[in-house]
Amino acid sequence: MSSQIIVQVAGRQRSVDQGTSAADLFADDRQVVVARVDGDLVDLAHVLADGDVVEPVLVSEPEGLQVLRHSCAHVLAQAVQAADPQARLGIGPPIRDGFYYDFDVEAPFTPEDLKALEKSMQKIINSGQTFARRDVSDGEARRELAGEPYKLELIGLKGGSADEAAEGASVEVGGSQLTIYDNLDRTGTVVWGDLCRGPHVPTTKLIANGFKLMRSAAAYWRGSEKNPQLQRIYGTAWPTKPELTAYLDRLAEAEKRDHRKLGAEMDLYSFPEQLGSGLPLFHPKGGVLKRVMEDYVRQRHIEEGFDYVGTPHISKEGLFHTSGHLPYYADSMFPPMEMEGSTYYLKAMNCPMHNLIFSSRGRSYRELPLRFFEFGSVYRNEKSGVVHGLTRVRGMTQDDSHSYVTPDQAADEIRHLLKFILGLLDDFGLSDYYLELSTPDMAGDKKDKFQGTPEQWAGAVEVLETVARETGLELVADPGGAAFYGPKISVQARDAIGRTWQMSTIQYDFNQPAGFGLEYQAADGTRQQPVMIHSAKFGSIERFIGVLVEHYAGAFPPWLAPVQVVGVPVAEDFDDYLKDIAAQLRAAGARVELDLSDDRFPKKIRNASKSKAPFILIVGGEDRDAGAVSFRYRDGSQKNGVPVAEAIAEIMAAIRDRVQV
């Protein structure tokens, strides 16, 4: 037999010895942490076979970074069990920017515990342990993990789906091989192990330069309130120390911009416990911001050919069966209410009611595209663990629109909506964005989660993808992310510190028109089914406000600022003069506040600066005598002796032109 095999690397064939591993193949590149063989991620210790297609995966790539973080999670679990042998293991997956691991322990972790665990992890990492994969049978796994009840539960899920099994077991749909990863010391002795699908970095030393434990929190096992509550430790890991430092700096900046903190400081909104989780209250200044946004988007919808409609907050159960949301969306809806012998639901979406408006009378092809729009209050039964300020709420207002078009009009309508959305985001200062295309996963048991035929889905995806590519924007695939009734394009916007937020969405729906029996009379006299295109420009106004607060760090452009001008007199003698200027500004349409308190002038200036108003107007004796004012801007610069008429013109121009100051 030949001692050589042929593998394909980077599109080129290579002849290597039998028994060659991926580590041997990429030994000269220390940035390679795992490999992809025939499309599957594997450890570098994986021995190659004849005909394998092999690709290196660098630690700087998303998949390589995930493996680094997953390995760091295992080091954390080893450190926890070294400190507390009675700690029972949950799961420890990589997540965005880091990882977590869940533990069943007697008492919650303290900040001091995390510091001690970091030191223990550093010792493990520095010792240069290696990760070794080992295939085991169900029985072997059960014997080895007899003291780990949560791991035993995952073994019991081996016949279920990979989603059910989560991170903890190497399980494919329909069942497959279980694997344990052993941590070996320099002598090859097993010092710790964990049930895991892998892969892992070859040595813990790759984690040495950039990891940190961030915080701990309570978490239900497998996300269900019916299960035991565990203690979760969150951490982060990066290939280098500078990357870790940069990430921590970004976090510090994000903390300064936290919309919950700024909302309280600026008196915009609050989240009273008496009201309930995820149900915000908008205060007068927050109400101004919300009204300005509503006025803007209402006018823009009218300009774009939409008709304003209104629908109630609740509906009979049958409507949501017709739309298909029950049972597909039932878990995200609030529990039903019984009234007068009927079952009612708080609405979680507006589209079923818009369909009733469409079907309220006969429609002709001459009316299409027919566009409905409303500010619809909807309610989502979000889990308490994911509710977060304004960015994840249970009660929200959507600028929801639905376009009813012929199939031939669908592409043009999507172009129209995308142009509308991108213009809106630009107006609000979110000009760095890309597109994401969410498609169905029609494989295996997941195909039952999507209504319609594969052919219908393929046609809808093709239309969305074609229009999306025409924009020239980056287009990212989101396989399996589609709603049950159709694929969608979402606009992913980056804020001032580089974070990505899902903003507006456009969804192609061929299912609800069929469910509601929607029809229009075509030019040839036949009855045809329209295509329904869902679109939300803000998504939810609440979430959009939360994103804007953080994007601008509360320093809104003049047209959006709840208070556009703060007037500060140098002394009480100039109050009346300042009141007259404020009256002129209000008459011109500006939002003005005056500080006529008894505070000393320097404190008034500090308070005005903290308010984040775009313009601070200061008046003293020289200003009054000259019929002028002095400007103080956000950057601390000042302009003195500006005639009142010129000052008002400057302020109103900045508001009108939506400039940033």
- Encode pLDDT of 613-642 as tens digits: 999 999 999 999 999 999 999 888 899 999
Confidence of residue 64 (pLDDT cuts 50, 70, 90): very high
Instruction: Return d(Cα 352, Cα 516) in angstroms, integer.
Output: 9
Per-residue confidence band for 161, with pLDDT thresholds at 50, 70 and 90:
very low
Looking at this protein, which amino acid is placed at residue 620?
Answer: G
Residue 301 annotated as catalytic = no
Strand 178-184: give its sheet, edge to edge: 130-136, 178-184, 190-195
Options 46, 69, 158, 351, the catalytic residue: 351
For residue 112, with 0-12 CB atoms within 10 Å meaning exposed, 13-18 middle and 19 or more buried, which class applies? exposed
pLDDT in tens, 508-549: 998 899 999 999 999 999 999 999 999 999 989 999 999 999
**Whole-number Å distance between alpha carbons of 465 and 477:** 10
pLDDT digits (tens, 9 = 90+) for 454-504: 888 888 899 999 999 999 999 999 988 887 778 999 999 999 888 899 999
- Token reading at 577: 């003069």
Q: Work out the angle at residue 285's Cα, subtended by the Cα atoms of residues 284 and 289, and round it to the nearest 5 degrees.
A: 115
What is the phi/psi pair of residue 186, to 5°? -65, -20
Is the link from the previous residue into 479 a cis peptide, with omega within 30 of 0? no
Q: Is 1's pLDDT higher than 90?
A: no
Q: Which residue has the tokens 């279980």?
A: 178
Flag whether pLDDT at 163 surpasses 50. no
Question: Is 72 one of the annotated active-site residues of the chain?
Answer: no
> CA angle, 391 as apex, 542 and 535 as ends, to 5°?
60
Q: CB of 489 within 8 A of CB of 508?
A: no
Residue with tokens 């669908």: 410
pLDDT for residue 170 is more than 50: no
**Residue 581 pLDDT grade (very low, low, confident, very high; cuts 50, 70, 90):** very high
- Give the pLDDT confidence score for residue 386 in this predicted structure: 84
Q: Is 534 a catalytic residue?
A: yes
Query: Model confidence over 312-350: pLDDT tens digits?
Result: 999 999 999 898 888 778 888 889 999 889 999 999 889
Which residue pairs, CB below 8 angstroms and at least 24 apart, start in 15-23? 16/48, 19/47, 20/47, 20/48, 21/45, 21/46, 21/47, 21/48, 22/46, 22/48, 22/54, 23/202
pLDDT digits (tens, 9 = 90+) for 551-574: 999 999 999 999 999 999 999 999
* Cα 436 from Cα 458, distance rounded (Å): 16
Give 121's contacts (C-beta < 8 A, 6+ positions apart): 72, 75, 76, 79, 211, 213
Written as six digits, the tokens of 464 are: 């969305």
pLDDT > 80? residue 157: no
Query: Region 298-323: what's the mean pLDDT?
Result: 93
- Which range, of 198-212, 436-450, 524-538, averages the lowest pLDDT? 436-450
- Positive or negative: CA dihedral 538, 540, 545, 546: negative
Average of per-residue pLDDT across 570-590: 94
Average pLDDT of the chain? 90
Residue 360: CB atoms within 10 Å: 8
How much is the pLDDT for 167? 40
Active site annotation includes 196: no
Q: Are 488 and 394 in contact (CB under 8 A)?
A: no
Catalytic residue among 66, 78, 398, 409: 398
Nearest Cα residue to 538 out of 388, 428, 381, 403: 428
Which tokens is 8 given?
């394909």
What residues does 102 pair with on adjacent strands? Answer: 232
Taking the C-alpha atoms of residue 404 and residue 357, their distance in angstroms, rounded to an integer, is 11
- Among 427, 396, 433, 473, which residue's Cα sits nearest to residue 300? 427
Measure Cα distances from 348 to 298, 323, 372 in Å.
Answer: 21, 12, 17
Which one from 102, 113, 194, 400 is the annotated catalytic residue? Answer: 400
Please check the confidence at residue 449 and state whether its pLDDT lies above 70.
no
Active-site residue flag, 488: yes
Other C-beta atoms lying within 10 Å of the C-beta of residue 625: 9
* Helix H or strand E segment including 247: helix 241-257
Among 166, 154, 148, 155, residue whose Cα is nearest residue 87? 148
Catalytic residue from among 222, 257, 402, 551: 402
Q: What is the pLDDT of residue 166?
A: 42
**Of 158, 197, 290, 380, catalytic:** 380
Strands 370-379 and 307-308, bridge-based pairing: parallel
Count of CA atoms in the C-beta half-sphere (13 A) of 514: 10
The answer to whether 316 and 343 have CB atoms below 8 angstroms apart is yes
Please tell me the predicted confidence (pLDDT) of residue 443: 61
Please choose, from the candidates 379, 622, 430, the residue with its C-alpha nearest in 3D space to the C-alpha of residue 545: 430
Residue 583 has pLDDT above 60, yes or no: yes
Residue 20 backbone zone (phi > 0: left; psi -120 to 50: alpha; other: beta): beta
pTM of the model: 0.81
What is the CA angle 507-397-559, rounded to 5?
Answer: 100
Percent with pLDDT over 90 in the chain: 77
The predicted model gives 12-28 an average pLDDT of 90
For residues 134 and 110, the answer to whether their CB atoms sit within 8 Å is no
d(CA 174, CA 161): 7
Q: Tell me if 396 sits within 8 A of 334, measured CB to CB.
A: no
Indicate the pLDDT class of residue 225, thresholds 50, 70 and 90: confident
Q: What is the pLDDT of residue 160?
A: 37
Rounded-to-integer distance, Cα 81 and Cα 104, Å: 11
Q: Per the structure block, which two tokens stand in for 252?
A: 């510090």
| Alpha-carbon torsion angle 258, 263, 264, 266, nearest 10 | 120
The catalytically annotated residue of 257, 354, 488, 537 is 488
Residue among 86, 41, 82 nearest 62 (CA) = 41
Catalytic residue among 158, 347, 394, 534: 534
Distance between CA atoms of residues 98 and 462, nearest Å: 35
316 given a catalytic annotation: no
